């Protein structure tokens, strides 16, 4: 496992979660949406990131907030689908605020994966529940996760749990095998001037070399923080739900550049 992580920048672990566990996570996510009382809606767009980032997003590090799909609205700003079909994602502290997600996120099986990768006393930075809704699930442009989460030294890993089958039709992940050895192309930072996407190096990732990661529900995909990855819009009739965690090595500092701010220290794996 460590070998393919180091060589390719990603690892696929099939059958990591069972169907009962998946059911519990999906039910909890549905309940979070039902109980969400936010009057204001906030859109999440990977394509128009700077324009759609607002205080609602910036304050989501300690809580569970729902972000809407851009395409869920008509030109008059009215939702064209029911709320539960309009949510792009829930973020960014399900692992602290929901007992079901907390239990799942800190299970020993995950810690042993982290230890295999050499992450000791790992810190859980953020969690997201991604819906990739039928027909309106938006595109995610090619990016490296290290663009969004900064540690010194840089050492973050993404854990992507498929809660439904992810296929070419419903917008599965695409990765650039071996691309984790490329330099960081950009940094999304919070500074005195607000938010900024700072370009660092040209992202000369050959679009033809990205490969689809079609996986069955229950699969874990481990992603190196420099691995370029993306996903297409979901134009199918089926959602492509996933739960993700981003974890930092315990021997790193979480820097001031991060958009993510928390009131309390990050929870750690034992
Ligand atoms: Fe990502």
Quick one: pLDDT at residue 40? 64
Find the 117 Cα to ligand 1 centroid distance in Å. 19
Q: What's the gap in Å between 28 CA and the centre of ligand 1?
A: 23
Cα(183)–Cα(42) distance, integer angstroms: 32
Distance 199 CA to ligand 1 centre (A): 17
Nearest to 16 by CA among 155, 217, 264, 156: 217
223-237 per-position pLDDT tens digit: 999 999 999 999 999
- Distance from residue 91's CA to the centre of ligand 1 (Å): 14
**Whole-number Å distance between alpha carbons of 160 and 101:** 14
| Interval between CA 150 and ligand 1 midpoint (Å) | 14
Q: How far is CA 158 from CA 33, 211, 236, 252, 263, in A?
A: 24, 18, 26, 16, 22
What is the distance in A from the centroid of ligand 1 to the CA of 21? 23
Q: What is the pLDDT of residue 262?
A: 94
**What pLDDT, on the 0 to 100 scale, is given for residue 77?**
83
Distance 88 CA to ligand 1 centre (A): 14
Q: Say which DSSP state 5 is in.
A: H
Which of helix, strand or coil describes residue 25? helix
Q: What spacing in Å lies between the alpha carbon of 27 and ligand 1's midpoint?
A: 24
Tell me, in angstroms, the distance from the centre of ligand 1 to residue 84's CA. 23
Q: Is the dihedral of CA 216, 222, 228, 230 positive or negative?
A: positive
| Peptide bond preceding 92 in cis form (omega within 30 of 0) | yes
The total number of residues shown for the chain amounts to: 270
Q: Could you tell me the distance, in angstroms and rounded to a whole number, from the CA of residue 172 to the centre of ligand 1? A: 12
Distance CA 176, CA 207 (A): 8
pLDDT mean for each 10 residues of the chain (270 residues): 96 98 98 86 72 82 93 88 94 98 98 97 98 96 98 98 98 98 96 89 96 98 98 97 98 96 95
**How far away, in angstroms, is 229 Cα from ligand 1 center?**
6
> Rounded to the nearest whole angstrom, what is the distance from the C-alpha of residue 126 to the centroid of ligand 1?
12
**pLDDT, averaged across the chain:** 94
End-to-end CA distance of the chain: 21
Distance (angstroms) between ligand 1 centre and the Cα of 145 equals 5
**Cα 76 to averaged position of ligand 1 atoms, centre (Å):** 31
**Full strand arrangement of the beta sheet holding 229-231:** 140-143, 229-231, 173-175, 211-213
Residue 265 is given by DSSP the state P
pLDDT (tens digit per residue) in 129-155:
999 999 999 999 999 999 999 999 999
């Amino acid at each position: 496992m460590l070998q393919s992580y180091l060589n390719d920048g990603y690892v696929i672990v099939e059958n990591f979660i069972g169907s009962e566990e998946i059911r519990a996570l999906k039910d909890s996510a549905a309940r979070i949406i039902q109980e969400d009382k936010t009057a204001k809606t906030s859109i999440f767009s990977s394509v128009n990131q700077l324009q759609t980032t607002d205080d609602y997003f910036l304050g989501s590090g300690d809580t569970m907030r729902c972000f809407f799909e851009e395409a869920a609205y008509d030109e008059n700003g009215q939702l064209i689908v029911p709320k539960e079909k309009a949510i792009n994602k829930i973020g960014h502290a399900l692992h602290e605020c929901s007992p079901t997600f907390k239990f799942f996120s800190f299970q020993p099986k995950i810690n042993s994966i982290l230890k295999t990768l050499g992450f000791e006393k790992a810190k859980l930075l953020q969690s997201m529940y991604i819906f990739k809704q039928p027909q309106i699930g938006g595109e995610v442009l090619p990016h490296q996760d290290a663009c969004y989460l900064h540690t010194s030294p840089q050492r973050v890993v993404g854990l992507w749990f498929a809660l439904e089958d992810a296929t070419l039709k419903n917008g599965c992940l695409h990765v650039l095998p071996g691309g984790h050895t490329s330099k960081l192309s950009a940094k999304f930072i919070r500074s005195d001037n607000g938010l900024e996407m700072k370009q660092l190096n040209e992202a000369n990732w050959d679009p033809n070399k990205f490969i689809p990661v079609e996986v069955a529900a229950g699969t874990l995909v481990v992603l190196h923080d420099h691995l370029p990855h993306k996903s297409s819009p979901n134009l199918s009739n089926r959602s492509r739900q996933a739960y993700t965690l981003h974890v930092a090595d315990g021997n790193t500092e979480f820097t001031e550049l991060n958009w993510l701010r928390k009131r309390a220290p990050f929870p750690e794996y034992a």
